[in-house]
């Protein structure tokens, strides 16, 4: 019979069905009569021939199965497949070996049978040469050791002789001479696993399950049935394993799918040993090269997205060609790989390739939801500040109600300096998480924050303006990992996040207006427009960076606020942005005033002191008297002990923290000794 390209030799199997053979290198198919099928039987049983598995392996068996099922027109799904039996055999050229029942150690209750024929037919003949051993049940697990040479000769399965001689030829050995048993005796060690093991215990249900688990199944089996050298020791667990059994264990321990070519186990072991030696040699060479690089090689600085070498800045575009942008006082250009060494994380994404030509920073305006020119300039300034390789960098905080495009604005900004996947992330749970994020990103973007813990606020301040972090090196007791870096930080959330004065002092806070429902845009259309404009917007920022490099040494500031280096950098870039001189300083001062106001509103100590001085005038007294005065005058601000500290020492620390905020509101604070006891008094006044 022939179906497409599949030829079948069909044989009647009686009333229940028939068998079909697809050749020595194919399979035996048993088809059950669908009207008279054994209960719970799938109807089709396929047994793959040993020759096909020995020469083509599991992949070829699967291809043959799928080709036959397609040719037969039999629909099926993977969940219908079951693995009922699997055999794994290794042939040993061992003329000196004779199977010995006493050497076989099996679990209690396991039946062991000797036989003298060419197959595993049991015999009770006395005095005859033992040609094989069988232990266990085929439905569970079974080991068979038998004379494969005798079976090949009597059954005329000379294909095995071809396979053996091909393996010997591959290693430069002469072919076997079957006329001389002393030089051609081959023994087969064959492990057989039945449905109790494959279905019930290891749950093999598909071809992929066989690839993933069959090695585990045979490894488990070979641990439960062993072949040893007997000794006088009554404890069989201490008997030394037979060398052929050790070889079998080594072959099973390797990739079963690759052991399908009929190569002799000794040659397989030698090949594995050679590969291992090659691997060890490669490791030695790698360590040697690392040592030469460490002690004799040149040292290069490495950067994350933005770096500087001499008077030039470099921006890693993140593409597969490792191209970067070189920026100096004369302009910018794209350079090939090798100019600067960059580190890349798996999360890093490519920047848009900038294009030369006339462009305006106002191309960015349609993609930022801001309510004023001042806010627009602050967002542009933060972006431009990210191009500094060393910082310090202000922390950008976007606030607003739901529906004010805080997350989208954050993604737009990061897309122009350090795109990544994901573009924004949740708040770090610890300082260590923050450090790990900083090691792999140039810009950090945290989305939808509702609160910033004090220890995290302190860590963010160090990341923004520069500071070191240290932690214990994993899997050590005393070694330390140190990290010193400065990174731009972007955060967004509904509440005011800069409640701590030191964090507010380093922040730019922009409040975004709510977008009316009639003015909302489909996200796909929005990002399509942005991706078209992004190369031109990035070019404007690069032009501004080049202008800042050219003018930085000539810029003078009448006042030097906190983040003065950032202020000077952006002020130097004003001509390239089309801003009048001093426009950024004016916008930054207005933003800082609003930041101070928000920080005071979020800090009950600062708000209570401002209210007291404005309502009651100057104050002079001890910390205890100040606490009592504030609690009696403003109970709504001071009733919560978690936010208004009652301990005098902690209140003194908080006063030091809010003192810069109060000073910018025109309120000064000093301490003096009073009275005969020299008790310390706190003096607070306006002006």
- Give residue 573's pLDDT: 92
Please state the rounded mean pLDDT for residues 45-71.
Answer: 85
- Give residue 294's pLDDT: 80
- Give residue 187's pLDDT: 93
pLDDT band at 256 (very low <50, low <70, confident <90, very high): low
Mean of all residue pLDDT scores within the chain: 82
What is the H or E stretch that residue 188 is in? strand 186-193
Q: Give 218 or 536, the one with higher predicted confidence.
A: 536
**In this predicted model, what pLDDT tens digit does every residue of 110-161 receive, in sequence order?**
888 888 766 555 454 445 677 889 998 888 889 999 999 988 888 878 888 8
**In this predicted model, what pLDDT tens digit does every residue of 357-380 receive, in sequence order?**
778 899 999 999 998 999 999 999
- Give residue 661's pLDDT: 80
Closest to 377 (Cα-Cα) out of 386, 394, 364? 364
Q: What is the CA radius of gyration of the chain?
A: 40
Closest to 140 (Cα-Cα) out of 163, 111, 120, 160? 111
What is the H or E stretch that residue 207 is in? helix 207-224
- Give residue 37's pLDDT: 64
- Give residue 270's pLDDT: 53
pLDDT band at 414 (very low <50, low <70, confident <90, very high): very high
- Give residue 513's pLDDT: 92
Strand-strand pairing, 444-446 and 489-493: parallel
- Give residue 39's pLDDT: 62
Closest to 419 (Cα-Cα) out of 443, 439, 437, 395? 443
**Which residues lie below 8 Å from residue 218, measured CB to CB, with a gap of 6+?**
86, 88, 191, 193, 252, 256
Q: In the predicted model, is pLDDT for residue 52 greater than 70?
A: yes
Closest to 267 (Cα-Cα) out of 54, 92, 144? 92
**In this predicted model, what pLDDT tens digit does every residue of 305-352 receive, in sequence order?**
998 888 899 999 999 888 999 999 999 999 987 678 888 888 899 999
- Give residue 112's pLDDT: 87
Using a 10 angstrom Cβ sphere, with 0-12 exposed, 13-18 middle and 19 or more buried, the burial of residue 142 is buried
**In this predicted model, what pLDDT tens digit does every residue of 337-346 receive, in sequence order?**
767 888 888 8
Q: In the predicted model, is pLDDT for residue 261 greater than 60?
A: no
In SS3 terms, 216-277 reads as HHHHHHHHHCEEECCCCCCCHHHCCECHHHHHHHHHHHCCHHHCCCCCCHHHHHHHHHHHHH
3-class DSSP state of 567: helix
pLDDT band at 409 (very low <50, low <70, confident <90, very high): very high
Please state the rounded mean pLDDT for residues 252-273.
Answer: 48
- Give residue 189's pLDDT: 93
Q: In the predicted model, is pLDDT for residue 1 greater than 60?
A: yes
Does the global pTM surpass 0.75?
Answer: no
**In this predicted model, what pLDDT tens digit does every residue of 609-658 receive, in sequence order?**
888 888 888 888 888 888 888 888 887 777 776 666 666 667 777 788 88
């Amino acid at each position: 019979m022939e179906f497409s390209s599949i030829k079948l030799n069909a044989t009647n199997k009686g009333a229940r069905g028939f068998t079909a053979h697809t050749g020595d290198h194919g399979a035996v198919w048993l088809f059950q009569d669908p009207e008279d099928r054994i209960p719970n039987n799938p109807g089709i049983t396929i047994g793959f021939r040993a020759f096909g598995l020995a020469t083509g392996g599991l992949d070829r068996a699967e291809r043959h199965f799928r080709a036959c099922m397609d040719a037969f027109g039999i629909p099926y799904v993977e969940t219908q497949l079951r693995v009922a039996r699997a055999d794994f055999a290794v042939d040993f050229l061992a003329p000196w070996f004779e199977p010995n029942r006493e050497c076989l150690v099996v679990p209690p209750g396991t039946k062991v049978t000797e036989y003298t024929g060419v197959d595993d037919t049991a015999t009770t003949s006395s005095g005859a040469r033992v040609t094989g051993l069988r232990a266990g049940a085929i439905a569970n697990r079974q080991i068979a050791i038998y004379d494969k040479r005798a079976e090949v000769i009597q059954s005329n399965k000379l294909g095995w002789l071809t396979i053996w001689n091909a393996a010997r030829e591959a290693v430069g050995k002469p072919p076997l001479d079957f006329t001389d048993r002393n030089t051609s005796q081959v023994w087969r060690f064959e492990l057989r696993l039945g449905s109790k093991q494959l279905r019930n215990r290891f749950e093999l249900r598909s071809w992929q399950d066989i690839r993933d688990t069959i090695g585990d199944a045979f490894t488990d089996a070979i641990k439960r049935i062993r072949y040893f050298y007997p000794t006088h020791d009554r404890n069989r667990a201490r008997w030394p394993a037979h060398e052929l059994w050790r070889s079998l264990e080594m072959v099973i321990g390797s990739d079963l799918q690759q052991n399908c070519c009929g190569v002799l186990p000794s040659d397989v072991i030698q090949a594995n040993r050679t590969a291992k030696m090659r691997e060890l040699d490669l490791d030695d060479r790698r360590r040697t090269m690392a040592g030469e690089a460490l002690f004799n090689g040149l040292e290069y600085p490495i950067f994350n997205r933005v770096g500087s070498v001499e008077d030039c800045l470099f921006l890693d575009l993140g593409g597969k060609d490792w191209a970067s942008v070189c920026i100096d006082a004369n302009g910018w250009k794209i350079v090939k790989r090798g100019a600067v060494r960059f580190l890349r994380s798996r999360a890093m994404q490519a920047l848009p390739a900038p294009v030369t030509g006339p462009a305006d920073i106002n191309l960015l305006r349609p993609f930022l939801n801001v309510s004023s020119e001042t806010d627009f300039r602050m967002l542009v300034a933060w972006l431009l500040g990210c191009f500094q390789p060393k910082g310090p960098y202000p922390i950008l905080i976007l606030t607003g109600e739901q529906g004010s495009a805080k997350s989208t604005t954050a993604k737009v900004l990061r897309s122009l300096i350090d795109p990544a996947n994901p573009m924004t992330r949740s708040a770090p749970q610890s300082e260590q998480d923050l450090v790990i994020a900083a090691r792999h990103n140039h810009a950090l973007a945290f989305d939808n924050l509702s609160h910033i813990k004090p220890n995290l606020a302190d860590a963010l301040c160090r990341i923004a303006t520069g500071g070191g972090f240290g932690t214990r090196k994993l899997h050590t007791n005393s070694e330390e990992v140190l990290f010193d870096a400065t990174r731009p930080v972007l955060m967004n959330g509904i509440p005011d996040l800069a409640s701590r004065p030191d964090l507010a002092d380093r922040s730019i806070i922009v409040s975004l207006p709510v977008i009316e429902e009639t003015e909302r845009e489909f996200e796909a259309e929005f990002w399509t427009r942005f991706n078209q404009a992004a190369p031109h917007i990035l070019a404007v920022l690069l032009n501004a960076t080049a202008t800042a490099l050219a003018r930085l040494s000539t810029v003078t500031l009448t006042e030097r606020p906190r983040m003065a280096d950032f202020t000077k950098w952006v002020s130097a870039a004003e001509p390239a942005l089309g801003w009048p001189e001093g426009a950024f300083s004016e916008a930054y001062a207005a933003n800082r005033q609003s930041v101070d106001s928000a920080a005071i509103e979020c800090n009950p100590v600062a708000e209570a002191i401002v209210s007291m001085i404005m309502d009651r005038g100057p104050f002079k007294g001890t910390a205890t008297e100040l606490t009592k005065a504030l609690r009696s005058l403003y109970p709504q601000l001071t009733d919560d002990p978690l936010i208004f500290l009652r301990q005098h020492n902690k209140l003194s620390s908080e006063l030091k923290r809010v003192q810069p905020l109060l000073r910018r509101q025109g309120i000064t604070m000093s301490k003096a000794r009073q009275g005969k006891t020299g008790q310390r008094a706190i003096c607070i006044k306006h002006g």
